[in-house]
Amino acid sequence: MRALSLHPDVIVFISRVWQTTCTVVRAGGEGFVIDSPVYPDELEALPDVLEQAEFPVSGLLATHADWDHLLGRLAFPGAPLGCGERSARRIAEELGAAQRELKRFDEEHYVEGRGALALSALQELPVPGRLELGTQLELELHPADGHTEDGMAIWNPRGRVLVCGDYLSPVEIPMISEGGSLERYRATLERLQVFIQQAGAIVPGHGAPMKPDRAQAIYMEDLAYLDALEREGAKAPLPLGRRSGAQRRIHETNAARVAGAGV
């Protein structure tokens, strides 16, 4: 797991698997952990690293309800976990789904000894909305659906950091998961684009944080891919630099979902 300081009050951790990001922000003696690393040793290291860096943990936030973004409770079992109202509803309706996906991952990757993931007593957050951190900062919560049926992006105006969940990834093409939508994905990209030029750093759900110019290039590539996917389906070209076997498999699933939706 890598750790990067984006601002005196913002640290980003990047997991060894899928380059999954975890962003920690502090203000006024409080701090939030947004999303999570994946492997047990990464989660076990997180509290000590943050204590040494003098980053308090008052609560956890999840940009959406995919299992690999919900593991903060394993590192901080007593901390409240907040998510958008649609994410909370998705977790309730898909009861046990995140735990089953985590078990499947652990079995596939020979991971042993992980504790049980508790997702009870979620704090539902209105999206769009604002969330106070201490007395010095209000985080802005913006809708970010399309990848899934739920999702929120988080704008830190003081640090000028955009945490955007599974969008604008330099390592992963746009992924339209079950419950997602090409049109809603496109709409989310348009909302996020407003913040790109204001930001000092953009943190995708997968991949290293980016400067605005790089994020703007990813934004344009992703829009072009979605347009081609709508027109050409499985024949649509993938963005340059994101044409690995894993991304081609994601593309095949995207094309099947778009075709099945009658787009």
Whole-number pLDDT of residue 140: 97
- Closest Cα partner for 172 from 96, 114, 248, 257? 248
Per-residue three-class SS string for the chain: CEEEEEECCEEEEECCCCCEEEEEEEECCEEEEEECCCCHHHHHHHHHHHHHCCCCCCEEEECCCCHHHCCHHHHCCCCCEEEEHHHHHHHHHCCCHHHHHHHHHHHHCCCCCCCCCCCCCCEEECCCEEEEECCCEEEEEEECCCCCCCCEEEEECCCCEEECCCCCCCCCCCCCCCCCCHHHHHHHHHHHHHHHCCCCEEECCECCCECHHHHHHHHHHHHHHHHHHHHHHHHCCCCCCCCCHHHHHHHHHHHHHHHHCCC
Whole-number pLDDT of residue 259: 85
pTM: 0.94
Residue 114 phi/psi, 5° resolution?
A: -80, 140
Whole-number pLDDT of residue 95: 85
The stretch 98-122 carries a mean pLDDT of 92
Question: What residue type is assigned to position 246 of the chain?
Answer: A
pLDDT at 262 over 60: no
- Closest Cα partner for 237 from 246, 250, 224? 224
Residue 181 binned pLDDT confidence (cut-offs 50, 70, 90): very high
Sorted by where each starts, the structural domains of the chain and their CATH numbers stand as: 2-260 (3.60.15.10)
Whole-number pLDDT of residue 23: 98
The pair of structure tokens assigned to 145 is 């659906």
